[in-house]
Amino acid sequence: MTNAFFTDTHAHLTSLEILPQLEEVLKRAWDSGLRHIVNICTDVESLKEGLILHEKYPWVYNTAATTPHDVEKEGELFFPIVEKAARDGKLVAIGETGLDYFYTHSDRRVQQIFLERYFALAVSTHLPLIFHCRDAFQDLFAMADQLYLGKPAVLHCFTGTLEEAKGVLDRGWFLSLSGIVTFKKSEVLREVAKYVPLDRLFIETDSPYLAPQSHRGKQNEPSFLIETAATVAQLKGIDVNELAEETSLNAKRFFGK
């Protein structure tokens, strides 16, 4: 048990999986020491529910974008809604957006087109970006260097190599670790966890996905963040309270909340 306060920087609280039990999930999160959760909205309904949620629970903040998986199907519909929410001051970041070449649910060129649009929106609204990237770091880095140089971003749920992590950090971005770092076969990711400077690190759950090792096979939720934090703290040779404090300060600096 810790006496620290934690920030879950990436959870899909208003997804269809979590929404029916949201009150209980938030109570468990608060009781576990979480004091801020960033809710990632990926479609019209999840953003609508997210805005209502923030009114009731001001410690839950919203971001929005269509994921690279869904831009071909839903990108045009959702983009103007995200844009309005961003310009109305309803969002703390734009995302998750990016590129995913591991799964080809959306055409690569369509993914790139929408990433360009989200770059422009983030720049014009002075909001940071949350990136999703899988098997596409070369293109993400190239596009960002051309269209988003020197601007704030976080690579959420990082699962890349140490070299790709260095590419993230070289661009001044933050890097976020999820429950995957606790998995038995995640040796490479644990090396990344050791390498990333504490002042450039976030921790997240990506709820309802990717529950940490002791909960594998279950629906993930923010209260499970503690296990990920404990693993990362051990890897870095620091107390979990220090990790909680520093990663929460990083998130506050990034999101402005």
Give the pLDDT confidence score for residue 114 in this predicted structure.
Answer: 98
CA angle 223, 227, 228 (to 5 degrees): 100
Provide the CB-side half-sphere exposure for 205 (13 A, CA).
31
The rounded distance, in Å, linking the Cα atoms of 7 and 257 is 11
Q: Quote the pLDDT of residue 2.
A: 57
Q: Structural domains in the chain?
A: 6-255 (3.20.20.140)
Please state whether the predicted TM-score (pTM) of the whole model is above 0.75.
yes
Instruction: For residue 38, give both structure tokens.
Output: 């960033």
Whole-Å CA distances, 43 to 22, 79, 91, 139: 18, 9, 14, 25
Q: How far apart are CA 136 and CA 175, in angstroms?
A: 16
Compute mean pLDDT per 10 residues along the chain, 257 residues long, and list them.
84 97 98 98 98 98 97 96 98 97 90 98 98 97 98 98 98 98 97 98 98 96 98 98 98 95
**Distance from C-alpha of 61 to C-alpha of 54, rounded to nearest angstrom:** 6
Calculate the CA dihedral of residues 159, 162, 164, 168 and round it to 10 degrees: 90
